[in-house]
Structure 1
Amino acid sequence: MTITATIPTMADKSPPGLAPSSKTRLGISAWAIMVFVFLLGANGVRNLVGLPTYFVLAGIVVVSSVWVFLVVRPERYRWYRIPAPLYWFLGWAALSIIWSAYRFESVLGVFAQLATTAVAISLAFVLTWHELLRTLATALRYLIGLSLLFELWVSSSSASRSCPGGSSSPRGRP
């Protein structure tokens, strides 16, 4: 006689309006991998596509994260489960705009912090611990592979140097 048991996970609970399927979790995993690759490889992405395009991509990452969070509506999310020091820090950062000598820069900093927090909360509550580790490991593998391919391309290309944004090397330097 064989007894099989499964451990219930967040993957067993389908979002409202969606049928339970592995395709839903596959899409969420793909989103998480994309977010991790973008966040961990941000300098490479910024140097590759330029600053304006980088900001557009960052906006897409934030909007997609909020959208995934709203569609999935994780059952384990409760606003009071978020650590109080995070609320204190975000509130203090927002209040610091009042006495800041550099208000525009402070507003940008607070906006970036709120965007980062929104993405982090989406990842933390939508993914199970196992999914979080698996998607992070996959993203790191992609980044290492892409980095090695880029190094191979730079070393084998006719140009001896590769500068950010496709610019040429500074004057007087090879």
Structure 2
Amino acid sequence: MRIASMLALLALAACAAPEPTAVSTSTPAPSVGPSPATQSHAEDLLAYLGRLRTMNESALGAEAARMKRDASDVARVKGALAMTLSSQSDEGDILELVDPVTRRPNVDRDVRAMATLVHAMATERRRLKQRVAATAGELREERRATESQKQRAEALQQKLDALTELERSLAQREAQSR
């Protein structure tokens, strides 16, 4: 149940782009709810995600960098979450953070579930970016082909006009010679 609610909240959080707001990275946002000592990893990650959603791009980047310095599994997932919300982040960097967490057998199940979700989101985002790039390439090729067909049609129209003019002039000569 806890994982399902965590996944639902993360899915809702990913639906809307975060509003850029000025957030000071030097003072942590106040924690609402139980103290960190009594929070489960799922609750901690969801609370962290809520704080991330209030941050602007530069604050997200700073937060991701701060979390990358900590080698714990929770910090890796938190860093990946921060990078996931940033439009400037690279999917390879996100996957590099969460992949070891998803593969390690002795990781807390809530942390692994969030890492698996972030991994799936980053993989899908990478696939979509690749598809967009491929589609853009196909579009460029189609435009080139269309332009080539247009030029060919114009050349054929010019030839047709020239032949029509030639036929007209031959018909006039023939009419004059009679």
| Greater RCO, CA 8 A, separation 6+ | 1
Normalized against structure 1, the TM-score is what?
Answer: 0.30
TM-score, with structure 2 as normaliser: 0.29
Larger Rg: 2
